[in-house]
Amino acid sequence: MIAIVDYRAGNLTSVARALEHLGHRCEITDRPERIVSAERVILPGVGAAGATMDNLRALGLDRVLLDEVIGKGKPFLGICIGIQILFDRSEEDDARCLGVIGGRVARFPNQLDGRPLKVPQIGWNRVRQLTRHPVFTEVPDNTHFYFVNSYYPIPDDPTVTIATCEYGVRFTAAIARGNLVATQFHLEKSGAAGLRLLDNFCRLVN
Amino acid sequence: MLSKRIIPCLDVRDGRVTKGVEFLNNVDVGDPVAMARFYYEQGADELVFYDITASNERRGIMIEVVRTVAREIFIPFSVGGGLRNLDDMRAVLLAGAEKVSIDSGAVRDPSIISAGAKAFGSQCIVLSMQVKRTGARPELPSGFEVVIDGGRLFTGKDAIEWAREGERRGAGELCVNSIDRDGTNAGYDLELTGAISRAVSIPVIASGGAGEPEHLREAFVSAEADAAIVASIIHYGKHPIPTLKRYLAQRGVEMREPPRLERSIN
């Protein structure tokens, strides 16, 4: 079973529908024992970093994710806000985050070369793969994925970045370390390529 | 680079698509789910459904359509038509739509823009406006007037000012539909779309009038639109989405080309 972490925000059902479409059993839950017993854990969502962290802490799920999921090497996938809260801090709400990955989350500039840059970025953008990570199996390099983001992660250790994207700046679009994978783009809204990536995550072997 | 989006629009009345599609062989052309699926597989970047159901009692049908579509297609889609308050928006979003499109309801009560943005996030709120050229005058400097209720009621609101207000109130995107061009196949109103694109810093969606591939290029390049609504240009099979995308990509417009995967997973 795949646990989708319910932290009282974001669009959790779209990830559940995509997983069901792919034939994977999943459950939207905030119960620690369900998350601990799941084979894999997904933290999806749209939302603000501060509110997400507040909700996770109020539900006691920050410790569960740190100690029982990521700390134990259980396969974990973060999507959108789910990549951002892995870092030390986010400029959004000046939020202190989980600190699993060293680094911070910054806001896109409002201007670029004197021209306004629309923030948030909304739409399909090319994702450049830096390594042939197993989650990209059968996904061609430079495939478009669907993004909705005002903020982007900046890892201290550049080797965790497995894919980048350009929007005003070149930024980290996906990271991986061991069994932890996270993407800034929405796999569940990125058509066949997103479904393939999601399916690849569900088949990652420990 | 962010690609420009092509967004097919489906008008749905009592759960059925109203404008037929004549070229599809094995697809029930009245079935919104089958049509959504068809355009999804053709490479649509997003979809929009307008519920034009006349009676309130039958609105629940649309929620069922949304729920089924959300299980079948895995790109963003928005739903508009008759959404007047937070409960209307919540029902559509919970059923699986990525965004809501609010129009007349937002003109009558602009506070629903900010209430929606606060409750669901700006990225969920598309402010859609129907615009008609009624001539510049002191209270309507641009000459572009917002009309509501299917074009029947003139509001006296200047479209450029309404766009700015919508952005201030937290709309995530603006959809600008030209009543003058709608159904003409004469091309988008580039002057209107361009004026709004330059007035705001949120994405602008051009709507109304596309009849030729060149019309999309003009909207993206001259009018700086981020996305374009297409209806009859694709519904009647003259210029299917892959043809439109090829035309635009060959002319330097950044387009998303859906990947050809070894194993289909749609």
ipTM, 2 decimals?
A: 0.93
pLDDT in tens, B200-243: 999 999 999 999 999 999 999 999 999 999 998 998 878 999 99
Establish if A80 touches chain B: CB-CB under 8 angstroms: no
Contact between residue B80 and residue B92 where contact means Cβ atoms under 8 Å apart = no
CB burial of A52-87 (b: ≥16 within 10 Å; e: otherwise) equals bbbbbeebebbebbeebbbeeebbbbbbbbbbbbbb
Distance CA B15, CA A69 (A): 44
Predicted TM-score (pTM) of this structure: 0.94
Pick among B5, B71, B74 to test the A interface (most A CBs inside 10 A) = B74
pLDDT in tens, B173-201: 999 999 999 989 999 999 999 999 999 99
What DSSP state is assigned to residue A109?
A: P
Nearest to B123 among A120, A139, A188 (CB): A120
Alpha-carbon dihedral sign for residues A144, B215, B183, B99: positive
User: Which residues in chain A have their CB less than 8 angstroms from residue B263's CB?
Assistant: 138
Q: Give yes or no for residue B26 having a pLDDT over 70.
A: no
Nearest to B201 among A46, A118, A140 (CB): A118
pLDDT at residue number B1 = 87
pLDDT in tens, A76-129: 999 999 999 999 999 998 999 999 999 999 999 988 888 888 888 999 999 999
Instruction: Look up A188 and say whether it is catalytic.
Output: yes
Contact between residue B227 and residue B6 where contact means Cβ atoms under 8 Å apart = yes
Contact between residue B148 and residue B107 where contact means Cβ atoms under 8 Å apart = yes
List A24, A26, A80, A133, catalytic entry: A80
Residue B13, both tokens? 């009345």
User: Which residues in chain B have their CB less than 8 angstroms from residue A135's CB?
Assistant: none
pLDDT at residue number B196 = 98
User: Which residues in chain B have their CB less than 8 angstroms from residue A129's CB?
Assistant: none
Mean pLDDT of B149-170: 95
Instruction: Look up A186 and say whether it is catalytic.
Output: yes
Nearest to A138 among B2, B203, B262 (CB): B262
Distance CA A124, CA A110 (A): 19
Residue A133, both tokens? 């990570």
C-alpha closest to that of B83 among B35, B48, B46: B48
CA dihedral B88, B89, B93, B97 (to 10 degrees): 100
Q: Give yes or no for residue A36 having a pLDDT over 60.
A: yes
pLDDT in tens, A151-200: 999 999 999 999 999 999 999 999 999 999 999 999 999 999 999 999 99
